Chains A and B, each alone.
Chain A
Amino acid sequence: MHTSVQLLADAPPQLLPARELMAFTLASHIILVPLGVALPFITLVMHYRGLRRQDPAALLLARRWSAVMAVQFAVGVVTGTVLSFEFGLLWPGLMGRWGDVFGIGFGVEAWAFFLEAVLIAIYLYGWRRLKPRTHFLLGLPLPAAALLGAFGILAANSWMNTPRGFSLDSEGNPVDVNVWKAIFTPMFGPQYWHFVVAMVLTAGYVVAGVYAVGWLRGRRDHYHRLGFAVPFTIAAVATPVQFVLGDSIARQVFHKQPVKFAALEIVWETDTHVPEYLFGRMHPDGSVSGGIKIPQLDSILAGFSPDTKVIGLSSVPADARPTATQATIAHWAFDLMVVIGSVLVLLALWYGLVWLRHRRLPESRWFYRGAACAGVASVVAVECGWIATEVGRQPWIVYENMRVAEAVTATRSETLWIMLGLVIVVYVFIFGSLLAVLLKMRTRWRRADEQQAAEEPAEPPEADTPYGPRSETAGRP
């Protein structure tokens, strides 16, 4: 405890609120990212099916998902813009010194995002007037634009983990920038693919989860089956891939950021035959309490042999490694992500086996209970992955080159705390509204479907517009 208290005392008072503010806004934004990146892809798959098989239910699903996309994308755009403000408002030291080294990835991200916003607008608003084929084809580049946008963000983040592409002059300032090396850093590939697959499977499970709940409540028509099967299949295919990618990224961290790996696995002393802890808590003296200890396993996982030497936290001075608390947080986040990933693999296998043997969807209620939870669980896993990456890197904002404390703004800490409070209020309002709007849409559509099934006359569209008035119908109040 002594060292961490001392480190906190040395840190500028701005550090804590700035960190909390960044963490809060990022953690909120990240909930929307999987849907932003992968929902267009899933919707297009459904759209394709609808066009190809002349399936009205599939087209209806695609249209409704695009209505969800509209609201979700709008909120994602604004919370994303906040993050780019925060780079300057919270971490001016980072951007002032390193902006020209790692900023170029954001340049790619910005124009990819431009493209995505254009394509999404055309896709969302093109349903009525564009020819079906044209409309679908114009939507087709959307997933590519989303992947390109993710490229920029992940290039910047992986650079912060394994900074390359510059040398330092006598004053410690970066010179001789090599943009290519700064983008394609050692952690870039592993982080990028891990992220992309995470987005696809999270979006798939989230969407499928909605229809799994419907299945549990007895809605088992073609529409609900389709709404479940398409996203779930996409997610189920991605899950084992993610398992392999996750294993490979952990090994990359072991090689490229050994101290971070030590934090993720709460290893104190550099040693061979290192045991693996499932959860557990690290103390400042390096001891571990609680958790399940599996002898030798960490060495085996890291290098396929119990003789593998794993670097411990104590190999670097206390001010250059995560504190015991931070290591415990990163470790828990990491373990939780692995546990969720493993359970999801089992769920995907269940689904795959039933499909292979019987060519139909599983019928067990437990399967659908699992599927209903998979969406939430994968969002939790995304949050955990991000926590493991960011907390495991502490105290560095640029790994081994700049401490978070050096990058933080000089604005008074009181101002930052007030801003944090304000942002929390604003975000609670916004995310609460988002949830309310989505739930309301769902209820409205369900009621409409029930009315139609009962062949009751539907409400006139004038009284029932999801987006406010429109030119031909309710546009002339």
Chain B
Amino acid sequence: MTADLIAAVLLLAVAAYACAGGTDYGAGFWDLTAGGAERGKRPRWLIDHAMAPVWEVNNVWLIFVFVIMWTGFPVLFQTVFSAMWLPLALAAIGLVLRGAGFAFRKPARRLAGRRLYGAVFAVASLLTPFFLGAAVGGVASGRVAPGTEASAEAWSNPTSLMFGLIAIAATAFLGAVFLTGDARRFGAPDLVGYFRRRALASLVVLTAWAALTLVITREDAPHVWHGLTHGPGLALVIVAGAAALATAWLLLRTSGRGARFTAVGVVGAAVLAWGTAQRPYLIPTSLTVAEAAGAPATLTWLAFVTLVALLVVVPAVVFLYWLDTHGELEELTDAELRSGDTGEKPG
């Protein structure tokens, strides 16, 4: 019972990371495709500006996912990290390069330095979600079981490939939708159109890719396919589809107000659909939630820790996003870092 609850928490944390972290990865995707230093200057300016205050918080979801995995379902953690060694190791390296690339690009002054760090940031933004997606795909297709040793087959198979690419498409979609909103927020009307076009294009790609993935999973990941086409899994797929339509409509109709909520709905519902489709397995069809569950006392405490986290973290994160979207958070200029008198100004 508690194990099911913790499994649900795990899935929600994965969904939260997919949406929050995914938006940041998407920003990296558009950074990569923004073109040369001159042409890509304005999109990159927006990306820097929009991501800076929130990307570290968005990253913490992943740590939360890991903690719930190893505390709640130690066997799952051991199995996934043993079997998916290479993609996860590469994802870890990608994460480091990405974060460092982003953090160093801002203070780098010379164009060469900005280019180097920017390229590192952007390429890693593409590779990291791919490898994370591929690892998820390997799990979904049931190629992993407790005791499976690391092999290329576990993550270089049709489902893994599709999941990896879908992860990239989803992040690009989220990134573009959020950047559309950010462009409006920062008063850059030309960039609103710029990112809206990209949001729509990536939504089309994402939808097509999701449909193709569904076809492929029929053969390659039958358990998940069955779950996605029946019962609650199907319902969530329909929710994701409806959210996708709503996003498209919102993007086309107005300047895209509210589209970020429906976009989160698309990706969140898709992740929840995958998780629901795996029921009752954590790894289809070799490891059920009940089998993988850790000690009952630990699960109870984990539920408690999660509750505290909800009470403490959620208001804090909401507050941060609120401050961020209301323009209360802005970096200091060098002028403010150099003189004593141009410091804090009220309101």
A interface residues with partner B (beta carbon < 8 Å): 56-57, 59-60, 63-64, 66-67, 70-71, 73-75, 77-82, 84-89, 92-93, 95-101, 103-104, 106-111, 113-115, 117-122, 124-132, 135, 166, 174-179, 409-411, 415, 419, 422-423, 426-427, 429-430, 433-434, 437, 440-441, 444-445, 448-449, 452, 458, 461, 464-471, 473, 475, 477
Chain B facing A: main interface SS: helix
* B227 close to chain A: CB less than 8 A: no
* B1 close to chain A: CB less than 8 A: no
Cα of A86 to Cα of B316 in the assembled complex, Å? 29
Cα of A166 to Cα of B18 in the assembled complex, Å? 35
Beyond contacts A100-B295, A103-B294, A166-B295: 18 other A-B pairs, Cβ-Cβ < 8 A, are A56-B339, A71-B103, A78-B100, A81-B92, A86-B92, A88-B81, A89-B92, A95-B70, A101-B298, A111-B305, A126-B329, A178-B297, A437-B104, A464-B334, A470-B331, A471-B330, A475-B49, A477-B41
Residue in contact with B74 in the complex, picked from A77, A100, A114, A124, CB distance below 8 Å? A100
Residue in contact with A108 in the complex, picked from B100, B305, B320, B335, CB distance below 8 Å? B305
Cα of A59 to Cα of B293 in the assembled complex, Å? 51
Q: Nearest Cβ in chain A — how far from B279, in angstroms?
A: 21
The residue among A56, A437, A441, A448 with the most chain B CB atoms within 10 A of its own CB is A437
Stretch at the interface among B51-59, B171-179, B236-244, B251-259: B51-59
Residue in contact with A59 in the complex, picked from B70, B82, B334, B344, CB distance below 8 Å? B344
Cα of A470 to Cα of B60 in the assembled complex, Å? 26
Known interface pairs A60-B337, A63-B332, A119-B316. Does A477 touch B345 (Cβ–Cβ under 8 Å)?
Answer: no
Instruction: Give the residue name and chain of the A residue nearest to B313 (CB).
Output: A114
Residue in contact with B107 in the complex, picked from A127, A440, A469, CB distance below 8 Å? A440
Cα of A449 to Cα of B86 in the assembled complex, Å? 49
Interface pairs (9), CB distance under 8 Å: A74-B103, A75-B103, A87-B66, A89-B81, A96-B77, A128-B331, A448-B337, A448-B338, A452-B338
Contact with A along B85-105 (1 / 0, CB 8 A): 110110111011111101111
Known interface pairs A79-B96, A95-B77, A177-B297. Does A132 touch B70 (Cβ–Cβ under 8 Å)?
Answer: no
Known interface pairs A100-B294, A411-B150, A426-B97. Does A93 touch B107 (Cβ–Cβ under 8 Å)?
Answer: no
B85 pairs with A409, CB closer than 8 A: yes
Contacts of A174 in B (CB 8 A): 295
Contacts of A130 in B (CB 8 A): 328
Cα of A427 to Cα of B97 in the assembled complex, Å? 9
Contacts of A429 in B (CB 8 A): 100
Contacts of B67 in A (CB 8 A): 84, 103, 106-107, 109-110
The residue among B49, B66, B70, B330 with the most chain A CB atoms within 10 A of its own CB is B70
Contact with A along B303-345 (1 / 0, CB 8 A): 0011011001100110110011001111111111111110111
Instruction: Give the residue name and chain of the A residue nearest to B82 (CB).
Output: A92
Residue in contact with A445 in the complex, picked from B88, B91, B338, CB distance below 8 Å? B338
Cα of A441 to Cα of B103 in the assembled complex, Å? 14
Residue in contact with B96 in the complex, picked from A64, A78, A475, CB distance below 8 Å? A78
Contacts of A103 in B (CB 8 A): 67, 70-71, 74, 294, 298
B89 pairs with A121, CB closer than 8 A: no
Task: State the total of A-B contacts with C-beta under 8 angstroms.
Answer: 323
* B36 close to chain A: CB less than 8 A: no
B335 pairs with A461, CB closer than 8 A: yes
Residue in contact with B57 in the complex, picked from A88, A106, A114, CB distance below 8 Å? A114
Q: Nearest Cβ in chain A — how far from B57, in angstroms?
A: 4
Contact with A along B176-196 (1 / 0, CB 8 A): 000000000011000000000
Contacts of B53 in A (CB 8 A): 121-122, 124-125
Contacts of B261 in A (CB 8 A): none
Q: Nearest Cβ in chain A — how far from B34, in angstroms?
A: 13
* B78 close to chain A: CB less than 8 A: yes
Residue in contact with A135 in the complex, picked from B97, B108, B295, B344, CB distance below 8 Å? B344
Contacts of A427 in B (CB 8 A): 96
A60 pairs with B97, CB closer than 8 A: no
Cα of A341 to Cα of B98 in the assembled complex, Å? 37
The residue among B92, B149, B312 with the most chain A CB atoms within 10 A of its own CB is B92
Cα of A114 to Cα of B306 in the assembled complex, Å? 12
Contacts of B205 in A (CB 8 A): none
Known interface pairs A60-B343, A179-B301. Does A82 touch B92 (Cβ–Cβ under 8 Å)?
Answer: yes
A82 pairs with B85, CB closer than 8 A: no
